[in-house]
């Protein structure tokens, strides 16, 4: 196996500042939205190597809950809250205004900001967030989280990270890479590179580790890798398929797909004992398990009814209950953290798009347009979905708001990008 080369890169201190920013460069709102809150994030005063206000504004716009104002359209660009002319902002039809500055501090930078209610002429909140140079963008995401929560009363999910697989080059020099980036696609870093396919990353609930499938031995096996130390471990290498790992909310188990007993079935792998417990029994293919947030069971895809649909089964096995009935095809389930919404890839208009089922009311809604959307993954706050899509032959990641109001593209330079997984909130 000398053709194979594997490079495990330690993600020390979140981001190595020296690492060149790779593919991601461009973020476009591809679909506007109605009924959003008008806000303006005024360019921050002080000196910073990143445009803090732009990062915050892009976060808020991507959520589908806000519409922002370009600096050129702003009536004024104050830095201190005392300088703000609320009348001017009301005339610019803004409900909220954010002003602030970046100051140097012991950690590197302090992002000091004021969220103001332009309608009432009052201050909603004011805070200071410290960040090192390497964490500066993450610091701005944290400010966006605070603003999001102060206005909507729901936690933000911007100061989070995402994992995904890229594929570049042509065989036999094709390279697969497991990457981790900020939730807006910036600061991508390769965690693992291989000439053989890597698939299905899944975050540990503490956000420290990733489980994934690698074919580096020319056979599928499941690995667990610590993002901070780079230490990796092969946890499942049964004969035949080892696939689709999903980390349990308790952190001590993985749901996996194994075909060691004949055809693909769902098993629960205990990470400490390495023992597996079979959950499904069917002559059909059962795969793509994802945990219910309370850990009581998993949702998975099965073609036991002829075509792929999603089912739920308890942690002790039993008869699976079918969850999806709309559309002839429902696969790749992702469950929101509150357990209420189920996102799937559903057949739509001759292609495949992301659909969200409200499991309480039974209503389902397409939140993407297709035609080749894949692998939806809920943000930890359940308000956004990350998925892979193909656009004009290009492979991209996209973020959709769950209400279907906004759709933002995280562009990648070249190659293919797939299997995105949205990481947990910082503990």
Partner 1 sequence: MLAVMAAPVCAAQPEWRSWGTGETSAPRPVEGAIPAPTPTQTIMNEVMQRQQQLQLEMREIRDLVERQGYEIEMLKKANKDSYADTDRRLRALEQPSATGGVAPQIPGAAPADMPAAPSAQEAQAPAQVPPADAVGEQAAYDEAFGLLKAGKYDLAIKAFDAFVRTYPASPSAPNAQYWSGEARYVQGDLKGAMSQFELVVKGAPAHPKVPDALLKIGYVFYDQKNYAKARETLNKVKDQFPGSQAANLAEQRIKRMQQEGV
- Name the β-bridge partners of 297: 314
**Beta carbons of 266 and 298 less than 8 angstroms apart:** yes
The correct pick among 100, 156, 185, 243 for binding partner 1 (CB under 8 A) is 243
Is residue 257 involved in binding partner 1 (CB under 8 A)? yes
Long-range contacts of 92-95 (CB under 8 A, 24+ apart): 92/40, 93/38, 94/38, 94/39, 94/40, 94/69, 94/118, 95/37, 95/38, 95/39, 95/119
Which residues between 124 and 183 bind partner 1 (CB under 8 A)? none
The correct pick among 42, 110, 198, 241 for binding partner 1 (CB under 8 A) is 241
Contact flags string 195-224 toward partner 1, x per CB under 8 A: ----xx------------------------
Tally Cβ neighbours within 10 Å of residue 153. 7
Contacting range for partner 1; rule: CB under 8 A; set: 28-36, 324-332, 376-384, 396-404 = 324-332
Is residue 307 involved in binding partner 1 (CB under 8 A)? yes
What is the DSSP secondary structure assignment for residue 72, as one 8-state letter? Answer: G
Is residue 288 involved in binding partner 1 (CB under 8 A)? yes
For residues 372 and 180, what is the distance between their CA atoms, to the nearest angstrom?
A: 23
Which is nearer to partner 1, 194 or 287 (by Cβ)? Answer: 287
**Beta carbons of 202 and 194 less than 8 angstroms apart:** no
Cα distances (angstroms) measured from residue 205 to each of 141, 246, 295, 360 = 20, 10, 12, 25
The correct pick among 345, 385, 386, 399 for binding partner 1 (CB under 8 A) is 345
The correct pick among 362, 392, 393, 427 for binding partner 1 (CB under 8 A) is 362
What is the DSSP secondary structure assignment for residue 71, as one 8-state letter? Answer: G
Q: How far is the CB of 199 from partner 1 (least distance, A)?
A: 6
The correct pick among 232, 332, 369, 409 for binding partner 1 (CB under 8 A) is 332
The correct pick among 225, 236, 259, 401 for binding partner 1 (CB under 8 A) is 259
Question: Residues touching partner 1: how many (CB under 8 A)?
Answer: 30
Helix (H) or strand (E) holding 66: strand 66-67
Q: How far is the CB of 342 from partner 1 (least distance, A)?
A: 14
Ramachandran bin of 121, using left for φ above 0, alpha for ψ from -120 to 50, beta for the remaining angles: left
Is residue 416 involved in binding partner 1 (CB under 8 A)? no
Is residue 312 involved in binding partner 1 (CB under 8 A)? no
Is residue 285 involved in binding partner 1 (CB under 8 A)? yes
For residues 167 and 187, what is the distance between their CA atoms, to the nearest angstrom?
A: 18
Which residues of the shown chain bind partner 1 in the complex (CB under 8 A)? 199-200, 241, 243-244, 257, 259, 263-264, 283-285, 287-288, 301, 303-309, 322, 325, 331-332, 345, 352, 362, 374
């Amino acid at each position: 196996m000398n053709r194979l080369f594997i490079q495990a890169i330690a993600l020390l201190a979140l981001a190595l500042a020296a690492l060149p920013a790779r593919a991601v460069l461009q973020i476009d709102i591809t679909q506007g939205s109605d009924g959003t809150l008008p806000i303006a994030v005024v360019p921050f005063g002080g000196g910073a190597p990143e445009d803090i206000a732009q990062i915050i504004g892009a976060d808020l716009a991507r959520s589908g809950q806000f519409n922002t104002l370009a600096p050129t359209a702003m009536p004024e660009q104050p830095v201190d809250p005392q300088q703000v002319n609320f009348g001017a902002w009301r005339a610019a039809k803004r409900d909220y205004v954010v002003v602030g500055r970046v100051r140097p501090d012991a950690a590197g930078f302090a992002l000091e900001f004021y969220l103001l209610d332009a309608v009432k002429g009052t201050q909603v909140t004011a805070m200071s967030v410290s960040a090192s140079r390497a964490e500066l963008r993450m610091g701005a995401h944290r400010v966006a989280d605070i603003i999001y929560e102060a206005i909507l009363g729901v936690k933000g999910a911007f100061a989070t990270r995402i994992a995904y697989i890229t594929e570049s080059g042509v065989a036999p020099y094709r390279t697969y890479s497991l990457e981790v980036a900020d939730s807006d696609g910036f600061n991508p870093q390769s965690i693992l590179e291989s000439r053989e396919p890597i698939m299905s990353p899944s975050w540990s609930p503490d956000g420290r580790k990733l489980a994934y499938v690698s074919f580096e031995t020319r056979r599928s096996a499941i690995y667990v890798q610590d993002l901070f130390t780079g230490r990796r471990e092969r946890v499942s290498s049964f004969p035949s398929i080892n696939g689709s790992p999903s980390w349990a909310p308790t952190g001590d188990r993985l749901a996996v797909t194994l075909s060691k007993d004949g055809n693909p079935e769902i098993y629960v792998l205990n990470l400490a004992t390495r023992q597996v417990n079979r959950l499904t029994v069917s002559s059909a293919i059962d795969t793509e398990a994802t945990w219910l947030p309370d850990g009581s069971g998993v949702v998975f895809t099965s073609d036991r009814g002829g075509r792929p649909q999603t089912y739920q089964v308890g942690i002790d096995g039993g008869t699976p209950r079918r969850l999806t009935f709309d559309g002839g095809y429902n696969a790749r389930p992702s469950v929101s953290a509150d357990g209420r919404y189920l996102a799937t890839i559903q057949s739509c208009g001759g292609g495949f798009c992301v659909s969200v089922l409200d499991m309480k009311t039974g209503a389902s809604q397409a939140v993407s347009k297709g035609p080749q959307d894949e692998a939806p993954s809920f943000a930890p706050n359940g308000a956004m979905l990350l998925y892979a899509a193909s656009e004009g032959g290009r492979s991209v990641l996209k973020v959709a708001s769950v209400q279907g109001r906004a759709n933002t593209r995280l562009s990648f330079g070249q190659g293919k990008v797939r299997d995105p997984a949205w990481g947990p909130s910082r503990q």
